[in-house]
């Protein structure tokens, strides 16, 4: 049995194109792999706290006593990391907002990136400690950005996920959503075809 973790980050709830693609993937996955376990976490509906000067102190090794807010953040960080480690396939919705990922997803990344826990520094350089995962990124965009300088999202996610040890990353794009209903429908259809290939691979 395989375990799939779906991380949704769109602020548009049911209107989200990336969210709809994630729902389609989950439906296809359950049909193709009925014995697998799927866990969904909506980072917009249940937002992760913003990392600030107080909370960062909770995520670094220290003998200092933690404030209640710090302890809550540390507990959440431990929960998110354990959840990430417990799943085999990680599905991330990453709609492009102002040329980058949503704040909600960045907040999640800030709580799971912990030195000595999810990565470590060695004489050979940084080493990611979350290994053996397959990652699928579902990225919807209003414009056309793939393979152009304006796509800051793809290299950032590739770099960050690789930094944590997740190098098996596949991107599924739905672009041109803002160009009208026909283009948006074609983008969604094309993305679903790629998703079907991923699910049955």
HEC-encoded secondary structure of the chain: CCEEEEEECCCCHHHCHHHHHHHHHHHHHHHHCCCCEEEEEECCCCCCCCCCCCHHHHCCCCCCCCCHHHHHHHHHHHHHHHHHHHCCEEEEECCCECCECCHHHHHHHHHHCCECCCEEEECCEEEECCCCCEEEEEEECCCCCCCCCCCCHHHHHHHHHHHCCCCEEEEEEECCHHHCHHHHHHHHHHHHHHHHHHHHC
16 is in an annotated binding site: yes
62 is in an annotated binding site: no
143 is in an annotated binding site: yes
Task: List the chain pLDDT tens, one digit each, 201 residues.
Answer: 899 999 999 999 989 999 999 999 999 999 999 999 999 999 999 999 999 999 999 998 777 899 999 999 999 999 999 999 999 999 999 999 999 999 999 999 999 999 999 999 999 999 999 999 999 999 999 999 999 999 999 999 999 999 999 999 999 999 999 999 999 999 999 999 999 999 998
96 is in an annotated binding site: yes
27 is in an annotated binding site: no
The parent domain of residue 101 ranges over 1-198
Look at the chain and report how many structural domains it folds into: 1
162 is in an annotated binding site: no
35 is in an annotated binding site: no
Looking up residue 34, the CATH number of its domain turns out to be 3.40.50.360
141 is in an annotated binding site: yes
109 is in an annotated binding site: no
How far apart (Å, rounded) are the C-alpha atoms in residues 192 and 20? 10
């Amino acid at each position: 049995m395989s375990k799939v973790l779906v991380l949704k980050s769109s602020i548009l709830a049911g209107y989200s194109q990336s969210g709809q693609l994630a729902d389609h993937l989950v439906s296809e996955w359950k049909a193709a792999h009925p014995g697998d376990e799927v866990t969904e976490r909506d980072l917009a509906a249940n937002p992760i706290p913003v990392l600030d000067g107080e909370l960062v102190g909770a995520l670094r090794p220290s003998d200092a006593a933690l404030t209640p807010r710090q302890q809550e953040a540390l507990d959440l960080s431990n929960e998110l990391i354990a959840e990430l480690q417990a799943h085999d396939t990680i599905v991330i919705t990453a709609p492009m907002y102002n040329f980058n990922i949503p704040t909600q997803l960045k907040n999640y990344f800030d709580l799971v990136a912990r030195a000595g826990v999810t990565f470590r520094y060695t004489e050979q350089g940084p080493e990611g400690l979350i290994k053996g995962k397959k990652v699928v990124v579902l990225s919807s965009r209003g414009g056309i950005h793939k393979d152009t300088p304006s796509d800051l999202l793809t290299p950032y996610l590739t770099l960050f996920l690789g930094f944590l040890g997740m190098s098996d990353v596949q991107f599924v794009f739905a672009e041109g959503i803002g160009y009208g209903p026909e283009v948006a429908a074609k983008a969604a259809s094309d993305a679903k075809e790629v998703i079907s290939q991923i699910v049955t691979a």
